[in-house]
Amino acid sequence: MTDKKVLVDTSAWIVGFRRIGPEGLKTFLREALDSDRVVTTPPIILELLQGCKTQKEFEALKARLESLERSPLEGLPWERVYHLGFSLRRKGLTIPTLDLLIASLSLEQGYILLHHDQHFRMIAKHCDLDAVDFL
């Protein structure tokens, strides 16, 4: 495993939380957490907290996520995000806005993007996104 930071997408967190699922993803996530290389960003925290069923679950998950290094979207070169969305659309790919933001953040900061989402696999085919998935 490298020493690069790992941006964990919501899709990978959800798989990681489940009892069953791709062991490779769970192992990769566990090793990244153990080596203190996981970063997150407020939109991912938001997506995960929206799925909480109780206030207690919300508070516990929020505390765990907020203990991770956070990469804010401030300073993200929006022109790069605009161009990525535009160029992918010209290739016939309609990517959700939040996925474009996460991919752009990962590209800009040089993160490995851990995901379990077909959209990131499609993005990676058209740019230099360092993405790890277990689809």
| Domain span including residue 93 | 6-133
For residue 25, tell me if it sits in a domain.
yes
Report pLDDT for 2.
72
From the CB of residue 77, how many other CB atoms can be counted at a distance below 10 Å?
Answer: 11
pLDDT tens readout for residues 16-42: 999 888 999 999 999 999 999 999 999
For residue 109, tell me if it sits in a domain.
yes
Report pLDDT for 75.
86
Could you identify the residue written with the tokens 């010209």?
A: 90
For residue 49, tell me if it sits in a domain.
yes
Residue 1's pLDDT band, with cuts at 50, 70 and 90, is low
Q: Residue 11: pLDDT above 60?
A: yes
Sheet with strand 6-8: strands edge to edge: 69-70, 38-40, 6-8, 112-115, 131-133
Nearest CA among 5, 8, 94 for reference residue 43: 8
For residue 51, tell me if it sits in a domain.
yes
For residue 107, tell me if it sits in a domain.
yes
Tokens found for residue 105:
């953040």
CATH number at residue 68: 3.40.50.1010
* Helix then strand then coil, % of the chain, to nearest 5: 55, 10, 35
- Average pLDDT estimate for 126-130: 95
Q: Quick one: residue 34, left, alpha or beta (phi over 0 = left, psi -120 to 50 = alpha)?
A: alpha
pLDDT tens readout for residues 40-93: 999 999 999 999 999 999 999 999 999 999 998 888 899 999 999 999 999 999
For residue 65, tell me if it sits in a domain.
yes
For residue 1, tell me if it sits in a domain.
no
For residue 112, tell me if it sits in a domain.
yes
Task: Provide the number of structural domains found in the chain.
Answer: 1
